[in-house]
Amino acid sequence: MRILHTADWHLGRIFHGVHLTADQAFVLDRLVRLASESKPDVVLVSGDVYDRAVPPPDAVALLDDTLSRLVLGLRIPVILIAGNHDSPERLSFGSKVLAAQCLHLAGTPAPDATPVVIDDRHGPVSFCSLPYAEPALVRERLDRKDVVDHDSAMAAQIESARRRLPAGSRAVLVAHAFVAGGIESESERSLSVGGAAAVGVEHFEGFHYAALGHLHRPQRAGADHVQYAGSLLCYSFAEAGQTKSVNLVELDAAGRCAVERIPLAPSHEVRCIRGAFRELLAGPRAAESREDYIMAVLTDKEPILDAHGRLSEIYPNLLHIERSHLAAAGETGGAARDHRRLSDLELFRAFFSQVTGDELTPEQAEAYAEIVENLRRAEREAD
């Protein structure tokens, strides 16, 4: 059994003001080609297919197009679950009719759902879908009062799923969760305020492969057969340099799995560049593309006029600029003070020291006062 495992597409994501749909379409096209070449028996999408409950129309069209290429074009069954970013009801729409085309959707926990069974030459493999659900919903749907957090919710759902597994069948779990010990990126939305989101890896024992979604860095999660596919693209600058990938999983007759990560090259890399403004103006090094999505960290202490405009001429997709000394001092230093109670000069003094890292000298203060006075006079005369 060959399984293509992907997750966290986040279609419709906006990254520092850029709609990523074209980038996502580029990578999904590669994913469909990969599916066409590697001919998996099934594609698993472990949640967060959309970035938000009401995605933009082009994201809806992209998903529709990708899924139809897989199930109609290539005739590869797809199992897709909702993540914490998705609207469960949206993903449940038309699911019976879609299942007739081998597109199996799970939006909300369904205690009585039977697993999807796909055969290979060694016999059947059962796929259990556990869409993301708040513990309170699991408690209600499964009528289990002992469900108090994500860990007990996962335990209850897996227990319920296990009861529906045909005896002797190899079993794969598709879930969207935060497994304890996993490495987070900046771009996930926390499942629980206060940090009670983690589930123990021991729940996944007995399954031959657990195809997880939620964490955006591809990673093994506590056991070789428990794996995050990672996100489709880098969705934060903290992920710059991470290679995003999908998992190509071979499940043998005994249910042992071998996982290969197939990199997904994006149309734009996400990259951080750092240095003095003049250095950065020299442009990218040989192997780097000007078209990458760029965050620039400027080490200069002096103010720079129109840094964004000038650097954008070199890097058209410059999305964010940080000043290293500001970041060190804390950009919001002094924000706790009530600005409305400060005089013009005090405000400027605070601004100057925040931007330059230096204190205003008496000469500078005098120059400032003179400029402001001239402006005020001009304003009075204009009235």
Binding site for its own copies (CB under 8 A): 54-55, 57, 60, 63-65, 67-68, 71-72, 87, 89-98, 100-101, 103, 105, 108
Core vs surface per residue 29-38: b (16+ CB within 10 A) or e: ebbbebbeee
Residues 6+ apart with CB under 8 A from 352: 358, 359, 360, 364
The dihedral through the CA atoms of 119, 31, 48, 53 has a sign that is negative
Name which of 92 and 192 has its Cβ closer to its own copies: 92
Q: How far apart are CB 32 and its own copies at their closest, in Å?
A: 13
Q: How far apart are CB 116 and its own copies at their closest, in Å?
A: 16
Q: Name residue 247's amino acid.
A: N
Name which of 71 and 116 has its Cβ closer to its own copies: 71
DSSP, res 340: G
Name which of 93 and 351 has its Cβ closer to its own copies: 93
DSSP, res 50: B
Q: How far apart are CB 54 and its own copies at their closest, in Å?
A: 6
Q: How far apart are CB 74 and its own copies at their closest, in Å?
A: 12
In 110-256 the beta strands, taken as DSSP E runs, fall at 116-120, 123-130, 170-176, 178-179, 198-199, 209-213, 219-220, 226-228, 245-251
Could you write out the three-class secondary structure of 18-36?
EECHHHHHHHHHHHHHHHH
Q: How far apart are CB 40 and its own copies at their closest, in Å?
A: 18
Name which of 89 and 186 has its Cβ closer to its own copies: 89
Name which of 108 and 152 has its Cβ closer to its own copies: 108
Which of 9, 19, 7 has its CA nearest to residue 44?
7
Name which of 118 and 280 has its Cβ closer to its own copies: 118
Q: Distance (Å, rounded) from C-alpha 327 to C-alpha 320?
A: 13
Q: How far apart are CB 66 and its own copies at their closest, in Å?
A: 10
Q: How far apart are CB 57 and its own copies at their closest, in Å?
A: 6
- Of the CA atoms within 13 Å of residue 286, those in its CB half-sphere come to 0
Name which of 107 and 218 has its Cβ closer to its own copies: 107
